Amino acid sequence: MRIIKTLILLSVFAGVTLLGNLLYTNNADLNNRKIAEAKPQANLQLNEKVRTHYKIDVEYQKTSNTLIVNETIKWKNIDSIKVDSLFMNIPTSSKGGSYKHSKLTYLISSLKINGEEVAYEFLPNNERGFIDSSLISVRIPNGVKGNETIEIITKFSIVLSDESKWSDAKFYNFENWYVTVSPFIDGEFISFPTHNYIAAFLEYSNFDVTIKTPEEYSVALSGEWTSKNSSGINLYTISAKNISRFNWFLFNELNKYSKRVNINSKEIILDIFIQDGKDDYTERYVDGVEKYLQSLSSFGSYPFKRFTIVDIPNYGNVKNKSYPNLIALNTDFISPVKTQKIEYQLALVIAEQYFGTLINSNSIKEAWLSKGLSSFVAEKLVRAHYGNLYAYFNVADYYPIYGLHFMSFAGIPLIYIVSDQVIPEGGRYLKEYYTNLTYTDLSTPSYILPNYEVYNAATVVKPQIALLTLEKIMGEEKFRNKLQKYFKMFSSKYASANDFGKIIMNNCSQANREIYNELFKSDKTFDYGIKSIEKGDGNEYEILVERIENGVMPIVISVITETDTIKLNWNGKERFKVFSINTDAEVISAELDSDNKNLLDLNFANNSYIVDEQYWGSVSYATRVFFWFQNALMLIGGKG
């Protein structure tokens, strides 16, 4: 019996092992390319002053599978200083292939400013992750004085690749496909080459676009649009104001569903383009859009009259995307409701409509500001409208939480319990966090992260868990009020991570400021444990706690006795600390952070300590508290 109890305790409080990697210390700087960067607190009143107007005429030629593009840009210098050069990005293509391939041709057959042909200079690119160098510098004849406007005219064509090798199906996502002028903020251009997977940083601008396609093709667009058909050609006329980018999709084998939905008495046209075999998802999409936009209206009214969803075909090779009033989802053919995968993916891209579209930030350097906030809000939206996420298993997908291995022989479980357990907020991302600890410093520029997996961990995973932790420390209502203030202050403006930090930390204690810096300005990791509980003379007990990692977090220690629970507060700064208590009741056990505020803790198994194994009640209690964390950490590996 004693052996069985020992096995139970070892299972419940099993240590975990996390892989440690060398700290990422790539200090490469784009300033080597003489590219100006933003001043920390720059703001641009974009609703009142729009600097750039794009007029683009596009024709898709089916026989050559080519886009023909004629583009006119009107750029106004709304500042008082004279501008002598422009920084611009031009689209790229490879012969016979997609314009996103690695061997690229820079597409621009002519470039005229105010009717005069001008020369341009490619800026060298030595950083990995960027698509060669699509960034050019253009010398402006006579310069542009304050309040003057110049006209830039260019023409080019893009040869597209066949996305599907097995059928006549076509699906193209047009991103970074037109010539753009770099943002000009506080008298400086903020310019970067085109990146492989990070969205370009662009200013809010106005767009007038026409697109011609053969009648058998459909499009999904940003902005407001009308269409007409003549002689087998569809002509789309689009107008969009105060958006940072214009993106669209072209395809020929998706079904369309339309519905009018009401969000706070405002009617929005919802268009859904979806594959055959996924028709059952339509109502889930409609339900999610209505619920999520309704909730997000507490931040501000949704400014667009249309909302378009594109269900990405399997041959599309496109990740989930969020553009102005246009989103794209890459969903599984089998995705049961209880998995919440579709609901969460939808919540994430819709949240980006607010925190990545209605607020503009430098995605090349600080992608976590839009991606992480959207992920944090998405977690809230899904749980508010669809309940908690539970551990589950089915043939299509699974979360690796199966139950407790109470007894085993040679690694094979003899007793195996499976039950529905709630996955706590942030739990869906813990595995990615633990396996990418090296890259969790949110002050690291996004563009130097070495690959997409690491980029996702650093811009989505870590900030979501950090924001959830900060919310638990500050209080849900207070944190939400600050988030609403941030949105209202920077809606339709440029915001930086410093801007966000100032609002969140306004009127906060010094302790909370230190916590914010630990979470968002360092790569520190967090782990606290209880080393021992010793009974001294009389009724005195000594509890030894330790800070195992370098991150500092205030900790509440719950000491459980036969009659009550004693709470001890620790600022968490010392490497170890001994707490002495005097109680007539016998101490059974102690726990660190029983409210689970610190979601970044690397090892939840060492957060509790039992004085004597005979206390089955404390084992049961600890099992309930740490069930999910212990199982997840045992399965994915941990540190301890």
The CATH number given to whatever domain includes residue 547 is 2.60.40.10
Q: Which residues of the chain have pLDDT under 50?
A: 1-48, 94-104, 393-419, 614-640
Return mean pLDDT, the chain.
82
**Residue 569 falls within a domain, yes or no?**
yes
> How do residues 564-619 score in pLDDT, each as one tens digit?
999 999 999 999 999 999 999 999 999 999 888 898 999 888 888 988 654 444 44
For residue 408, list its beta bridge partners. 413
Domain of 556, in residue numbers = 2-21+526-636
* Strands ordered across the beta sheet of 135-144: 120-122, 135-144, 83-89, 180-181
Which amino acid is residue 296, in one-letter code?
A: L
Residue 591 contacts residue 579 (beta carbons within 8 Å)? no
Three-class SS of 419-449: CCCEECCCHHHHHHHHCCHHHCCCCCCHHHC
pLDDT confidence of residue 412: 41
Angle at 504 between CA 501 and CA 510, to 5 degrees: 90
**Residue 614 falls within a domain, yes or no?**
yes
pLDDT confidence of residue 627: 43
How far is 149 from 139, CA to CA, in rounded Å? 15
Q: At what angle do helices 367-386 and 497-505 cross, to 10 degrees?
A: 50
**Residue 333 falls within a domain, yes or no?**
no
Give residue for tokens 């594109």: 310
Helices (H) and strands (E) in the chain, counts: 11, 35
How far is 567 from 584, CA to CA, in rounded Å? 16
As for how many domains the chain has, the answer is 1
> How do residues 14-73 score in pLDDT, each as one tens digit?
332 322 332 222 333 333 333 333 333 333 333 347 899 999 999 999 999 999 999 999
**Residue 186 falls within a domain, yes or no?**
no
Q: What is the DSSP letter of 22?
A: P
Global confidence as pTM: 0.82
475's CB contacts (< 8 A; 6+ apart) are: none
Residue 311 contacts residue 173 (beta carbons within 8 Å)? no
E strand map for 128-264: 135-144, 149-159, 171-174, 180-181, 184-185, 188-189, 205-214, 218-221, 224-230, 233-243, 248-251, 255-263
**Residue 538 falls within a domain, yes or no?**
yes
How far is 433 from 129, CA to CA, in rounded Å? 22
**Residue 442 falls within a domain, yes or no?**
no
Maximum Cα interatomic distance, the chain, rounded to a whole number of Å: 97
For residue 55, list its beta bridge partners. 72, 208
Give residue for tokens 């106004």: 76
How far is 112 from 252, CA to CA, in rounded Å? 35
pLDDT confidence of residue 20: 31
> How do residues 191-248 score in pLDDT, each as one tens digit?
999 898 899 999 999 999 999 999 999 999 999 999 999 999 999 999 999 999 999 9
Residue 590 contacts residue 560 (beta carbons within 8 Å)? yes
Residue 37 contacts residue 186 (beta carbons within 8 Å)? no
What is the H or E stretch that residue 319 is in? none
